[in-house]
Amino acid sequence: MGGYILRRLLSAVPVLLGITVIVFLIMALIPGDPATAILGSYATPENVARINRELGLDAPLWRQYLIWLGNMLQGDFGQSFALNRPVLDEVLERFGATLILAGTAFVLCSLLGVIAGTISAANQYGWADKAITFTVLLGISIPSFFLGMMMILLFAVRLRWFPVSGMWPIYGARDAAALISHLAMPAIALAVVATGVIARLSRSALLEVLRQDFIRTARAKGVHERSVIWRHALRAAMVSILPVLGIQAGFVLSGAVYIEIVFQWPGIGRMLVDAILRRDILLVQGGVIVVAACYVFFNIIVDVAQSLLDPRIRT
């Protein structure tokens, strides 16, 4: 087991390097004088000189990349000119808020999606299946930002169940209750699409498994249908559901950008959009790399979970 985790971690190294190469190349796309583009409206002569020195912009491209990578490995992601603070500090601070939001949404969509998909498969063509299938279709068709806005109208403005936006109350204690009441709507709005996708795939994964011989064996043993579905079939189906959860984690992380804008959540998505609009390129670059790296590690966790679930792939 330990060996497997180690090998999986090592295999992440080229992926992480690839990510930095891609981000570097995209940034190299910026037309015109890079230093001026990176600095945007902050392009004072001193700043331009500093950027040119930091990035070694007179060197060939591969040298530039190595310098840039070396700096990042030492924790130096550069300086945000708009915020006038180190990129890494800002990114890590914002990323915490995003993790709370996306993590909650991910737990929600995984649980609800798998449960809904299982109920749907167990009652194939029954009314529960039809109701779930239709709800899922609605869920994957509605833009999450629109859903979020409508939730604000209904639950925050009309019913006053939840605060309109933000992560913490402006006045009052920053305790768990306050966080949960602020978190509820954005987390749900963010989870809806992924819930739909997961429910769909869980349903077909279960239908696939339910036709297999070992399900018939379980029934022949006299095992109750409830545990035939929820123990035998679901466990086997999880082998193909888990990778989907890994992929959906990426979509949840992506969708957080919209939800953070709609609900004024102080996360990294909002930071990225603001940074793009202000042309604060180094901040964008740092944010993208940190989030992507985090996603790579999350997928390692999924793989390890997969190997725990399926003894056949453990070596």
Looking at residues 149 to 178 of the shown chain, list those that interact with other proteins (rule: CB under 8 A). 149-150, 152-153, 157, 164
In the complex, minimum distance from the CB of residue 284 to other proteins, in angstroms, rounded to a whole number? 4
Q: Which of 30, 107, 180, 301 binds other proteins (CB under 8 A)?
A: 30
Cα distance between residue 294 and residue 256, in whole Å: 14
- Kindly tell me which of 112 and 291 has the beta carbon lying closer to other proteins: 291
If one asks whether residue 281 binds other proteins (CB under 8 A), the answer comes out as yes
If one asks whether residue 185 binds other proteins (CB under 8 A), the answer comes out as no
Restricted to residues 234-253, the positions that interact with other proteins (CB under 8 A) are 235-236, 239, 250-251, 253
Q: Which of 15, 107, 111, 180 binds other proteins (CB under 8 A)?
A: 15
In the complex, minimum distance from the CB of residue 177 to other proteins, in angstroms, rounded to a whole number? 24
In the complex, minimum distance from the CB of residue 139 to other proteins, in angstroms, rounded to a whole number? 10
Angle at 71 between CA 70 and CA 77, to 5 degrees: 140
In the complex, minimum distance from the CB of residue 238 to other proteins, in angstroms, rounded to a whole number? 9
CB 2 within 8 A of CB 286: no
Cα distance between residue 166 and residue 263, in whole Å: 6
Q: Which amino acid is at 134?
A: F
Count Cβ atoms below 10 Å from residue 270 Cβ, excluding itself: 22
If one asks whether residue 140 binds other proteins (CB under 8 A), the answer comes out as yes
In the complex, minimum distance from the CB of residue 9 to other proteins, in angstroms, rounded to a whole number? 15
If one asks whether residue 276 binds other proteins (CB under 8 A), the answer comes out as yes
In the complex, minimum distance from the CB of residue 272 to other proteins, in angstroms, rounded to a whole number? 6
In the complex, minimum distance from the CB of residue 173 to other proteins, in angstroms, rounded to a whole number? 26
CB 237 within 8 A of CB 306: no
If one asks whether residue 11 binds other proteins (CB under 8 A), the answer comes out as no
If one asks whether residue 66 binds other proteins (CB under 8 A), the answer comes out as no
Residues 6 or more apart whose CB falls under 8 angstroms from that of 258 comprise: 143, 144, 145, 148, 269
If one asks whether residue 211 binds other proteins (CB under 8 A), the answer comes out as yes
- Kindly tell me which of 146 and 161 has the beta carbon lying closer to other proteins: 146
For residue 171, report the phi and psi dihedrals to the nearest 5 degrees.
-115, 155
Task: Look up residue 115 and give its two tokens.
Answer: 């449960």
Q: Which of 100, 279, 286, 306 binds other proteins (CB under 8 A)?
A: 279
Taking contact as CB under 8 A, which single stretch among the options 75-83, 108-116, 184-192, 275-283 is the one that binds other proteins? 275-283
- Kindly tell me which of 61 and 174 has the beta carbon lying closer to other proteins: 61
If one asks whether residue 83 binds other proteins (CB under 8 A), the answer comes out as no
If one asks whether residue 10 binds other proteins (CB under 8 A), the answer comes out as no
CB 36 within 8 A of CB 44: no
In the complex, minimum distance from the CB of residue 175 to other proteins, in angstroms, rounded to a whole number? 27
If one asks whether residue 210 binds other proteins (CB under 8 A), the answer comes out as yes
Taking contact as CB under 8 A, which single stretch among the options 3-11, 45-53, 111-119, 230-238 is the one that binds other proteins? 230-238
If one asks whether residue 291 binds other proteins (CB under 8 A), the answer comes out as yes
Place of tokens 């190294």: 13
